[in-house]
Structure 1
Amino acid sequence: MQGAIVARRGGFERFVMSMAKEATRQHRISAVANQKRIREAEQARKQLLRDADRSRRDLAMSQREAERAARLQYLEDREAEAQTENEDTAARLEELANVLSNTLSVDDMISFDSLRVSQEAPTLVIASAIVKPTEAPNLASFLSEVSVPKGLGKLMLGAKKRYAMEMANADAKYRSAMADWEYTEATRLKKVEGTKSTHAREITAFSTKVAQRDAEVDAFKDGYFSAEPDAVVAYNTMVLERSVYPESFPQNFSVAYASSSKQLVIEYELPNTDVIPQFAEFRYVKARDTIESKPRKSAEIKTIYQDVVAAIALRTIHEIFEADQANAIDTCCFNGFVRTVDPATGVDIQPHLISVRTTKEKFLQINLARVDKTTCLRNLGAQVSRHAAEAQPVKPIVEFDMADARFIDQSDMVSGLGSAPNLMDYTPSEFEHLVANLFGKMGLDSKLTRSSRDGGVDCIAYDPRPILGGKVVIQAKRYRHTVGVSAVRDLYGTMMNEGASKGILVATSGYGPDAFNFASDKPIELIDGGGLLFLLQEIGMQARIIFPTEP
């Protein structure tokens, strides 16, 4: 977060998010539907082969042979049913086993041009019946129908008069035909002009739509490459929306971004264990004419589920870093949770089963095609549930609400945050007392010790909880710039000297990737400016962080 640490919201964000979700959801739906069509086509192909084979045998058999063959065919069909169940189970297991590997051949980068209007402009289509005018009446053709008196006919009584009348009638017919033609032609021209007018309006509407979408996409692109939080969140939402998982996966998630530390935090809903085939094998028992199933061992279900959870975490981080064409993300944190029911209380719960934070530099050195997922996550300092299948929770490395800078904007609208104090205006002493008071209200017994030379504070606190509690060292950095690794090393040194079980570093700004890397395997919690404001809000204090203008 930069400046007032408030992400820009409004019409632009709504457009970006709706466009992101619609475009990428359609991509994912299309991919899932295509996979389904492939599976159904393969099943239909096998059935056609079986039917064709049956027809050939039927043609070559007598009635008695046909009855015996029908019985054999029934048994074969039942065997085939069991085999189909086994094949479907194997396919589902293969999908789960390939959750990570399937993404490695996919280019996760989003093309902004793909978000523009893709259809062609409306073409002018004039009905064939009105494209060309009909031929106008010709006076000569009407007059040619009148016979001119010749020879003795000219001398007959009244011949000249009859001729004149016939000529007059022919002329009248011509004029009537011409009037009908002119009316028909005027009607045709009116329809043609109407079609052209409609097309012109369609072209204008289409051009407006294209221009509006181009302007929106250009604004989105500029915002993304400028690392505006809303645009970065929207872009990465698109990346994750278009990721194709098995149909049974929920794929619900939230994304937050802190521009000061270039950290993206993902709160991701994991599938339950019911995505794993509960039966290991199907077989047809002829004696009972039934297809019996063999339950999958509980230990195997747990092993597969642990692998799926690990695969989703690694896959998500891979997709985020690979798609990061603006280099807006130095650090990514993945929190995976599951929706389930507490068996002890019957209450709906959402325990986290995995939490991992890593820097791009460190993650891109990993060859995901060859890693052992569990070992890889352990090396990244991940918090992973030891019993994910039983929904045993772990504590997220970064609480999502503390990472989402945009909640500050929401509280602004509700509580008038504009009048709240700016933490950057506090004196060192005031800031010391603020930090100590914050953790005191959070349940820690905190004691101020000494002020550090950079305006931060050393605070020794005690967590009174049995087993989990103990001595905690808290340091606060009222910084305007990114906190580097040296501050984290200093905190760790103080922890060692004090014999503390945990260290907490609170900053008004954000942290660099080296700081996250150093803290990843240590009992150190890094809280940035957004997290600090969130914690203050939790104890009833509205505050803001506005950095002074650069000199």
Structure 2
Amino acid sequence: MFDPEIEGSSVARRRGLLAELQHQHRLAQQRQVQQQRAAMRAHNAAVREAERSARERQRASAAFQRASAADRVAAERAAKVAHVAAREAEVVEKNAHLNATYDEIDSLLAATLEVDDWVDLESLRESPGEVAFDRPELLTPSPTPGYHDLPGRPLFVAPPPPTGISGALGGNRKHAAQVEAAQREFGSIIQRWQHALGQTFELNAQIRKRWQETESARLVALAEDRRQHEQTVAQRHREVSESNDRLDGLISGLRHRHPAAMDEYVGIVLANSVYPEAFEVSHEHSFDAENRELRITVLAPHPDTFPTTKAFRYNKANDEISASPLPAAECKRRYASVVAQLALRTAHEVFEADREEIIDSIALTVAVDAIDSATGHDTRVDLVRLATDRADFLPIDLSRVEPADTLAHLAGAMSKNPYGLAPLANHGVRG
């Protein structure tokens, strides 16, 4: 069966490439002209705006010159007041942002208690959905062209024969001559008609050819875009299938308590744990299936990246905004508190997310990657070590505790000066 779209595509593949290139070239030229026009309009608008601004400045300058000295002083005073108000508002905004940052950092533990850290793995199952065809305009055939009307064929009209006495007096010979002259004239008319008819046929053929080229180019483009779309859809289905297969493997692995599956699930849980922008952390972990223990290292930000500004203030005298630093003791206290919270938060998230109670215990370390000032080598400084069982940890009401006291209660070890990166002694976590 003949399919015009398939047939058109075949023709386009044989001879439509040049037509498509020409079509795209024309489109590019059209876009270039449009862009040039748009740029000219923008230029003209900019010139008009500049001229308007110049006129406004001239009027303002003239008004200023006409104003009294008292008016000028009042205007300058009002401008200064407005400037000071703007700077003071800037300080208020900076201090509000600073206070919000400290609130987020100080409530690391409280923030996680407000959410359920369990991850419903089925919610991670993907669906390919519908991949939209990105060139819907190609689906519509080119409009049928309008052709020139063919000129009508002329009709020969013979001169009327003589009647009455004129015919009897030799009018027939005269009529014959008239008919002959009319026929010669009609022959010329027919020639002109045939010429016009040929021109019309040629113009219509050109219109038809251009339409066919445009339609062939459309079919070429449509076929290519459909091919790419089908590839995109197939790729999307493969990716979704692979993702869901991995999810099925993860669910099965957790059911059979495979260490790799538990590691992957814990990674998902910890990835869901959102930290303040000013205090980003990362994790390293592995699950010991034989002992049902999760070993995890929480990497805290270096103290050098910890915010140390107490507040911002505006000095009118020099028109500057300055920052007052937190006292060193306050920096140490806040950083130590955050490190302790970090340990309890991580343990809480893992135990709460493990509804199947696959993990019996956690061996946790909070550390900071730093440079050894003595050797210049990269080093990892342990700031907290905690070994705790599910049975010991879960009964604790974390919403009412002092984190450092809780670590001590759980026989954990904490650096005496986390902010100064004072290392821990080698104790406090099961080997």
TM-score surpassing 0.5?
yes
User: Which stretches in structure 1 are left out of the alignment for 5+ residues?
Assistant: 1-60, 399-524, 528-551
The residue correspondences of 1:97-246 to structure 2 (distance < 5 A) are: 97-113=106-122, 115=124, 120-126=129-135, 128=137, 131-135=140-144, 142-143=149-150, 145-149=151-155, 151-152=157-158, 156-157=182-183, 159=186, 163=190, 166=193, 170=197, 173=201, 176=205, 180=209, 185-246=215-276
Q: Which residue of 1 aligns with 2:290?
A: 260
Q: State the structure with more CA Rg.
A: 2
Q: Which residue of 1 aligns with 2:348?
A: 318
Q: Which residue of 1 aligns with 2:14?
A: none
Q: Which residue of 2 aligns with 1:339?
A: 369
**CA gap 1:222/1:160 in 2 versus in 1, 3 angstroms:** farther
Q: CA deviation at 1:216?
A: 2.7
Q: Which amino acid is the alignment partner of residue 146 of structure 1?
A: G
Q: Distance in 1 between matches of 2:213 and 2:350?
A: 67
**CA gap 1:92/1:72 in 2 versus in 1, 3 angstroms:** same
- Of the three residues 77, 86, 93, the one matched with 2:102 is 93
Contact persistence 2:94–2:312 (CA under 8 A): yes
Contact persistence 1:354–1:396 (CA under 8 A): no
- Give 1 or 2: higher helix fraction: 2
Q: Which amino acid is the alignment partner of residue 128 of structure 1?
A: E
Contact persistence 2:110–2:399 (CA under 8 A): yes
Q: Distance in 2 between matches of 1:77 and 1:178?
A: 67
Q: CA deviation at 1:317?
A: 1.2
Q: Which amino acid is the alignment partner of residue 355 of structure 1?
A: R
SS at 2:398 equivalent: coil
Q: Distance in 2 between matches of 1:353 and 1:289?
A: 43
SS at 1:157 equivalent: helix
Q: CA deviation at 1:178?
A: 8.6
**CA gap 1:167/1:214 in 2 versus in 1, 3 angstroms:** farther
Contact persistence 1:146–1:163 (CA under 8 A): no
SS at 1:299 equivalent: helix
**CA gap 1:343/1:177 in 2 versus in 1, 3 angstroms:** closer
* TM-score of the two chains, using structure 1 as the length reference: 0.52
SS at 2:286 equivalent: strand
Contact persistence 2:279–2:306 (CA under 8 A): no
* CA deviation profile, 1:308-345 (whole Å, cap 9, x unmatched): 01111111112212222543322122111123455666
Q: Which amino acid is the alignment partner of residue 106 of structure 2?
A: A
Contact persistence 1:239–1:320 (CA under 8 A): yes
Q: CA deviation at 1:251?
A: 1.7
* CA deviation profile, 1:452-475 (whole Å, cap 9, x unmatched): xxxxxxxxxxxxxxxxxxxxxxxx
> Aligned-pair RMSD on alpha carbons?
3.7
Q: CA deviation at 1:202?
A: 2.8
Contact persistence 1:134–1:185 (CA under 8 A): no
Q: Which residue of 2 aligns with 1:366?
A: 396
Q: Which amino acid is the alignment partner of residue 105 of structure 1?
A: E
Q: Distance in 2 between matches of 1:153 and 1:198?
A: 72
Aligned residues: 337
User: Does 2:301 align with 1:271?
Assistant: yes
User: Which stretches in structure 2 are left out of the alignment for 5+ residues?
Assistant: 1-69, 161-178
Contact persistence 2:127–2:240 (CA under 8 A): no
Q: Which residue of 1 aligns with 2:414?
A: 384
Q: Which residue of 2 aligns with 1:247?
A: 277
Range that drifts further, 90-99 or 175-184: 175-184
Contact persistence 1:337–1:352 (CA under 8 A): yes
* CA deviation profile, 1:472-508 (whole Å, cap 9, x unmatched): xxxxxxxxxxxxxxxxxxxxxxxxxxxxxxxxxxxxx
Contact persistence 1:95–1:246 (CA under 8 A): yes
Contact persistence 1:338–1:353 (CA under 8 A): yes
Contact persistence 2:283–2:298 (CA under 8 A): yes
Q: Distance in 2 between matches of 1:276 and 1:315?
A: 19
**CA gap 1:397/1:129 in 2 versus in 1, 3 angstroms:** same
